[in-house]
Chains A and B, each alone.
Chain A
């Protein structure tokens, strides 16, 4: 019966492992090294700012990020003045004013990121019927989120492999489930000119924008891990003390 017990326990383990790797049709992306991995993981501020630049200049022409506000950018290391300036580059519809009219004004730090389209239908109409998803929590909404996003940005192929016939207006991307994606290859070499002088290769931009998206999806991550270490250290000490106390109290029984 010891054997049975062991078989059962190894079944539990394998069920947990296999069950976790539920496939969504997309091939499993290659694991990359990220500075935010691990229990001490942190976002690289320079990469965050470059990634935001990629989002602002490339992605944001089709993709919204509805759950982020300009004020959140302070976490990327921008000053209040810089954030005001970034927000002011957008036009926001506000109102109604005292006359009951809606009006446009410059964006302010408390405004949400301006969406490229007023509604989903407009987004579809402008994108050949495909809907560019909101990117606020995109790395949490995909299996192996950051690795997947990086793979997606870097796996476009000019010519599809033999036997694959692309539908009208579609592109071949080996990281995407089914291989055909409606998104135009977004990150051609030098698609942006980095303000910090970093060379904007496709891989560099893919990496930076992934860091930015990972932060956007989990802006609490650094604080969470920092607090987590404190909580676990506290619990380890407390549990050790409780164990010592338990042994002491039970000593007269054994």
Chain B
């Protein structure tokens, strides 16, 4: 919604014009998809936003067809999934796309977020854009978690038990809340049915938040690798055809990667245990969530009892502290635009922050690795250290580096020829 005034698509025929005068959808599309001025220097890391949108559509499309053949009942869910795999025409394909699509969605979104971190895309005037993205991530996690429960395998059941039990850590009302979530006194049929209902609902909520994310994006336009505002017409190019073709090329590369898993390693991201039907009487040797939740799972399990040193007086039980830390890990990034008050957005001109960025990324990956291990000995220590660093990075290092870092001089403008070779492309 930048300067140029909306122009009706004059090249169109009378029917389009008739509609457009009454409901300006064509003007809107022309303005937001065609002309939409975009920085000319976006690199390939900017492809991941549109990829995430496309994966969302793929997930909803495949999910609708799966829901037509799935039965949300503890005695039939596992069998109905096997029926999809064996008897529904191309059911195996639809399910494997949906299953691997979940991993792809998180992969793409995590890359999208770390791109935002590197280039300072969360900074003003894009704070709400960042918030909406975080809300999408939290909704995605809830959706993915409930989706993982639906096949009613061992990991489905025990994952659901562990995660819903987290709420019992809430003082006083914890246990009633868990009973309320379950719809009974254990994870059982009512739990499965409500998870199915919510798993179908939440993706459409995600679509809604994504629309707001796009409105916020189009208000100020994309950030760019230099992190400086566009100054003249010369700095922008129309979205179409430049970025439509670039996004389509990126989509092609991504689909090769995605379909490689779907057709040749469809269970790569899954746990073998989830092909064992749920058994409430037999706990699996290890209960692990899907890879994309592992860093948060590591934080949850790393936090010890909070006690007064040297005494046995416990302020807060490890379970509650862990739950707070885990949700904190998701919520603290919302304060990032203010914790990092450096005026310079892009890490290209922030020598110290650039190093901290890579350390933070390594820390998140370390947390992911720890999340897949038993929390004991060295692993537990690593998990605690990595958890502490996660929060220290956001809450302590970001304000410090914003205050003391000597940033490099920013270029005059995006099209400033002096810095042409330092741009993102």
Q: Are B263 and A227 in contact (CB under 8 A)?
A: yes
In the bound complex, what is the Cα–Cα distance between A7 and B294 (angstroms)?
20
The 8 Å CB contact of A239, one of B253, B361, B366, B368, is B253
Min CB gap B79→A, angstroms: 7
Chain B residue nearest to A217 (CB atoms) is B275
| A102 interfacial by beta-carbon distance below 8 Å | no
The 8 Å CB contact of A4, one of B248, B355, B368, is B355
Interface residues on A, range: 35 or more
The interface-forming segment of B239-247, B312-320, B402-410 is B239-247
Q: Are A25 and B263 in contact (CB under 8 A)?
A: no
In the bound complex, what is the Cα–Cα distance between A19 and B290 (angstroms)?
11
Q: Are B358 and A242 in contact (CB under 8 A)?
A: no
In the bound complex, what is the Cα–Cα distance between A229 and B260 (angstroms)?
9
A-B contact count (CB 8 A): 123
The 8 Å CB contact of B252, one of A1, A145, A224, A242, is A242
| A164 interfacial by beta-carbon distance below 8 Å | no
In the bound complex, what is the Cα–Cα distance between A20 and B242 (angstroms)?
39
Q: Are A242 and B286 in contact (CB under 8 A)?
A: no
Q: B266 — which chain A residues lie within 8 A by C-beta?
A: 224
Please encode chain B, from 383 to 414, with 1 for each CB lying within 8 Å of some chain A CB and 0 for all others. Answer: 00000000000000000000000000000000
Q: A231 — which chain B residues lie within 8 A by C-beta?
A: 259, 263
Q: Are B263 and A137 in contact (CB under 8 A)?
A: no
Q: A133 — which chain B residues lie within 8 A by C-beta?
A: 276
Please encode chain A, from 218 to 229, with 1 for each CB lying within 8 Å of some chain B CB and 0 for all others. Answer: 011000110111
Q: A236 — which chain B residues lie within 8 A by C-beta?
A: 256
Please encode chain B, from 227 to 264, with 1 for each CB lying within 8 Å of some chain A CB and 0 for all others. Answer: 00000000001000110011011001101100110111
In the bound complex, what is the Cα–Cα distance between A137 and B273 (angstroms)?
11
Min CB gap A140→B, angstroms: 4
| A103 interfacial by beta-carbon distance below 8 Å | no
Contact (A137, B275) CB under 8 Å given A8-B358, A11-B362, A249-B245: yes
Q: Are B369 and A18 in contact (CB under 8 A)?
A: yes
Min CB gap A71→B, angstroms: 10
Within 8 A of B (CB), among A7-40: 7-8, 11-12, 14-15, 18-20, 22, 24-25, 39
Contact (A19, B255) CB under 8 Å given A8-B361, A232-B260: no
Q: Are B273 and A141 in contact (CB under 8 A)?
A: yes
Q: B93 — which chain A residues lie within 8 A by C-beta?
A: 224, 227
In the bound complex, what is the Cα–Cα distance between A20 and B109 (angstroms)?
21
Chain A residue nearest to B253 (CB atoms) is A239
In the bound complex, what is the Cα–Cα distance between A141 and B273 (angstroms)?
6
Chain B residue nearest to A142 (CB atoms) is B272
The 8 Å CB contact of A225, one of B263, B273, B277, B361, is B263
Q: Are B264 and A228 in contact (CB under 8 A)?
A: yes
Q: Are A22 and B372 in contact (CB under 8 A)?
A: yes
The 8 Å CB contact of B256, one of A18, A39, A232, is A232
| B54 interfacial by beta-carbon distance below 8 Å | no
| B43 interfacial by beta-carbon distance below 8 Å | no
Of A1, A8, A136, the most chain B CB neighbours within 10 A belong to: A8
Q: A25 — which chain B residues lie within 8 A by C-beta?
A: 285
In the bound complex, what is the Cα–Cα distance between A25 and B284 (angstroms)?
11
Q: Are A39 and B264 in contact (CB under 8 A)?
A: yes
Q: B145 — which chain A residues lie within 8 A by C-beta?
A: none
Q: A46 — which chain B residues lie within 8 A by C-beta?
A: none
In the bound complex, what is the Cα–Cα distance between A217 and B82 (angstroms)?
10
In the bound complex, what is the Cα–Cα distance between A22 and B289 (angstroms)?
12
| A143 interfacial by beta-carbon distance below 8 Å | yes
Of A14, A72, A227, the most chain B CB neighbours within 10 A belong to: A227
In the bound complex, what is the Cα–Cα distance between A14 and B252 (angstroms)?
27
* A/B interface sample: 24 pairs, CB < 8 A: A1-B354, A12-B365, A14-B369, A15-B365, A15-B368, A18-B372, A19-B294, A19-B369, A22-B286, A22-B288, A24-B286, A66-B79, A67-B82, A137-B275, A141-B272, A141-B275, A141-B276, A145-B272, A224-B92, A228-B264, A235-B255, A235-B256, A239-B253, A239-B255
Question: 3 smallest A-B Cβ distances: which pairs?
Answer: A228-B263, A239-B252, A141-B275
- A binding-site residues for B, Cβ under 8 Å: 1, 4-5, 7-8, 11-12, 14-15, 18-20, 22, 24-25, 39, 66-67, 72, 133-134, 136-137, 140-143, 145, 177, 217, 219-220, 224-225, 227-229, 231-232, 235-236, 238-239, 242-243, 245-246, 249-250, 253
- B binding-site residues for A, Cβ under 8 Å: 40, 79, 82-83, 85-86, 92-93, 96, 237, 241-242, 245-246, 248-249, 252-253, 255-256, 259-260, 262-264, 266-268, 271-273, 275-277, 285-286, 288, 291, 294, 351, 354-355, 358-359, 361-362, 365-366, 368-369, 372
